Amino acid sequence: MTESTQFIVTGGAGFIGSNLALALNQRGHDDIIVVDNADSPGKQRNLAALRCREVMDKSLFRDAFLAGKIPAVDTVFHIGACSSTTESNASYLEDNNTLYTRQLCEWSIQNNVRFIYASSAATYGDGALGYSDDDTMTPQYRPLNLYGKSKQDFDVWALEQGLLNSIVGLKYFNVFGPREDHKGEMRSMVNKAYSQIMETGEMRLFKSYRPEYRDGEQERDFVFVEDAVRVTLFFHDHPEISGLFNCGSGRARTWLALATAVFTAMDRKPNIRMIEMPASIREHYQYHTQADTTKLYSAGCDQPFTPLEEAIRNYVCNFPPVSN
């Protein structure tokens, strides 16, 4: 690696992408091409905090690399995608999430560029088959929404093409933390809770519609964004390691635990109200996620994951969410 090493971070004005670009800055790197559309005040704030060589519109960037007009770089971090779990335009997701990723992956391989991309825990569907990132299991999963399918389709394609021997995919679980204010309804529950509590003094959680889960005791594997970034950079630092890996803590926590932690961090008494879950998402709702971290740790990644309460206090006290 030389001093002129360049990085491409797609989705670099977004949530995980901007935190990743900032971490590269903190390592002394500012020769970064950020690919994104700064189409909201939140994304503009994220970009303003970064040092980068260039910011490119994602469509112009796609045209440029397909035409061979992008300079050789050290690593492509492909974080950008439509992450809406309620997006119903299958053709859009197939093009924007799956085909775009395939094209950028192929360009990276042809140009001997390290390719690290964002997959998702949404690929695991209802969890009936578990949460293993073992290659033998990957084709068997059935996501519950089109977003998850768009990620799964690329994972399976990369596996079938034998590309997971040279690239890295990260199945991010429920990531939360600074610089997600622009995400609208796709913001983390920590972010939403803070806003709800500031505005109304209460936090709202969905009721459960499965008898084995009491209201508010649906579970997620919550990941602080700083931890997700450190795991991502581990694979940049170790180009000899490739494959598809879970990026999760390996521990499932309830929404009630998260809600209580937010109130505690805000120095308030919990005031939680259970509300009806919209009928449109009841059949596609994940009641439990928990990363199997066996493969991640076997690869040598010993990155500790910040305990939920500590991460929420850090977020709420040091980076309080703002409205866009």
Catalytically annotated residues: 147, 183
- Determine contact, residues 246/292, Cβ cutoff 8 Å: yes
Tokens found for residue 79: 């974080």
CB count within 10 Å of CB 72 equals 8
Number of continuous H segments (helices) and E segments (strands) in the chain? 12, 13
Sequence-separated (6 or more) residues with CB below 8 Å from residue 240: none
Q: Among 304, 303, 203, which residue's Cα sits nearest to residue 261?
A: 203
Both structure tokens of 259: 């809600």
Closest CA to 123 of 255, 28, 280, 245: 245
Burial 233-264 (b: 16+ CB within 10 A, else e): bbbbeeeeebbbbbbbbbebbbbbbbbbbbbe
